[in-house]
Amino acid sequence: MRLTCVLRKRSMNNKPLSYMKNMYWNNNYYLQQERKVWDFNFKENMERDNLPVFKIDDILTPVIPVKPVQHFTNTVTREPELIRDQSHPLWKDEPAFTYRDNTWMAKDCELAFAQAATNTIAVDSLPNNLLERQKDSSEEVKYRVEDLIRSCYIGDAVQKALPKDFEVPFIGWHPVESKMRPRNQYDWTKMSWGRNPKREYGVPNRRKLSNLCLGLVKEACKSSEQDLSNYQLLEHTKMRQFIRRPDGKLVRFFLSVPLVIASTTSQQPLPAPPPDSIIRPEYTDTFTKDRVRKGDSEGTPFTYNASGVPDTHPLNPVNNFFQDHIYEHSDNFPITSKQFSHPHVHSVFYYNDAHIKKRYSIDKERSKCLIYAYTTALGQARLLQGDSKSLDLKEPITINSISTNGQLYTASSFQLNSLDLESTTPNYFHFHAEQLPLFDFCGYVDGQDKLEGVNMDTYKILESVLTSNSRSKETARAAVVQ
């Protein structure tokens, strides 16, 4: 724009007030609004000459008719919450004893109560068909497994605000002094009481476990020369199954299964375990490091019946479940038709992804594996049987179950023999006797990434569980040719 005298050129001798206020900007537009509007008496002159004077609203009409505006006074800022009482549309008079993701059984007896709730006997060893399939891994497979762990724990660029840890590790002192009498009634070296650390950012545990387990499934198929197209990986699925107990109570299993592996073929049924291998009098909880005895001679609250199923009388194994009166009495299963390309569930996963109180109790993980596999087997049985109300199965259903927190794994195999909880042929639950560490540490030390203690023996067990009763690539090609 050319600077003229009208726009107040900076080189003017007589500088206006607008220039004096701000020598770098023209404020004339601001001064213009303060100037007086002169009245030139146009209206009076027209009336003197007998010329009509009209208002603009008397001559022009709006194109769109003006509707009267109705002002509403709304004092409600949000919708009221639906009251969970008899007025709820899904209210049922009969309560459903619901097992959810955060449901816990009786402490130190979780596996036994899960067995009693599902009519299952437990064997502290994996089936022979899984043990016989284990083979040594090559150096190339070990390198790929280590690279997979690093990529999930170190190489992930996702950074999100992690939950605030109120159980702060002990830093050598306590910001809050204990006023309890007598003093030190708790382990004061366990955590720093009253310390408020900064918010941490990192990769969420659920994302780490999801990427790691998906990678292990694909690596297991690759290292065992299995065709990955025989599997379908279903993530973030919901399962809801109802079953009636012998005492008349309605039980609902409502679970969020993070990973379901569906297969084109079902697994072979497991043989009946030898009587001497069934867990009866005692077992070891690796979390509490105590020997938990459950025999009559020790005066414990329950015993085992002749078939090996725990008898929790006078306690009911489902009394610890949530009693819910608001529910929809319908089953839910991720596979809705037998015409699906992969109609048989092969394995399910449970993620122990807690950021706070990172505890891995082997007894709790075994009970979780049992409940997750049992719920999945119920849905699988009802899918295959269709509308049949029979409690007897044409063929037992075998499903593998794995629980993990990333570093530790619990491998198990479950077989559903009957939908009747009073059947004389109980269900089978095989699990590995020890917790399986995949690695010891993966993270940063002094600014450098570090991976320690990779255990390939654990990977061999996981590989045999994830690829059990699967067809190789050559077998799949031969089946297609035929």
Residue 148: predicted pLDDT = 95
Structure tokens at 74: 């709304």
pLDDT digits over 220-256, tens only?
999 988 888 899 999 999 999 999 999 999 999 999 9
Residue 21: predicted pLDDT = 53
Mean of pLDDT values over 206-215: 95
**Dihedral sign, CA of 319, 324, 325, 327?**
negative
Residue 470: predicted pLDDT = 58
How far is CA 403 from each of CA 191, 349, 410, 461, 468, rounded to the nearest angstrom?
Answer: 27, 6, 5, 13, 17
Residue 100: predicted pLDDT = 94
pLDDT digits over 13-46, tens only?
565 555 555 555 556 666 666 667 788 888 899 9
**Dihedral sign, CA of 463, 464, 470, 473?**
positive
Check whether 119 has a pLDDT greater than 90: yes
Check whether 291 has a pLDDT greater than 60: no
pLDDT digits over 367-387, tens only?
999 999 999 999 999 999 886
How far is CA 222 from each of CA 141, 145, 345, 467, rounded to the nearest angstrom?
Answer: 9, 12, 20, 10
CB 270 within 8 A of CB 352: no
Q: What angle in degrees, to the nearest 10, is found between the helix axes of 205-223 and 456-466? A: 80
How far is CA 14 from each of CA 9, 19, 22, 257, rounded to the nearest angstrom?
Answer: 10, 10, 15, 83
Which DSSP letter does residue 228 get?
G
Distance CA 262, CA 456 (A): 25
Check whether 297 has a pLDDT greater than 60: no
Going by their DSSP bridges, the two strands 436-437 and 448-452 should be labelled as: unpaired
Residue 323: predicted pLDDT = 94
pLDDT band (50, 70, 90) for residue 83: confident
Residues facing residue 252 across a β-bridge? 98, 242
Residue 18: predicted pLDDT = 54
Distance CA 113, CA 366 (A): 11
Distance CA 155, CA 203 (A): 10
pLDDT band (50, 70, 90) for residue 482: very low
Distance CA 238, CA 270 (A): 27
Distance CA 203, CA 248 (A): 46
Distance CA 212, CA 227 (A): 20
Structure tokens at 179: 């006023």
Residue 184: predicted pLDDT = 65
Mean pLDDT check: name the lowest of 141-145, 148-152, 181-185. 181-185
Per-domain residue ranges of the chain: 104-154+202-481
Give which of 270, 281, 257, 275 is closest to 128, Cα–Cα.
Answer: 270
Distance CA 311, CA 295 (A): 11
**Dihedral sign, CA of 195, 361, 252, 254?**
positive
Mean of pLDDT values over 80-89: 85
Going by their DSSP bridges, the two strands 427-431 and 436-437 should be labelled as: unpaired
pTM equals 0.77
Mean of pLDDT values over 145-172: 89
Residue 38: predicted pLDDT = 83
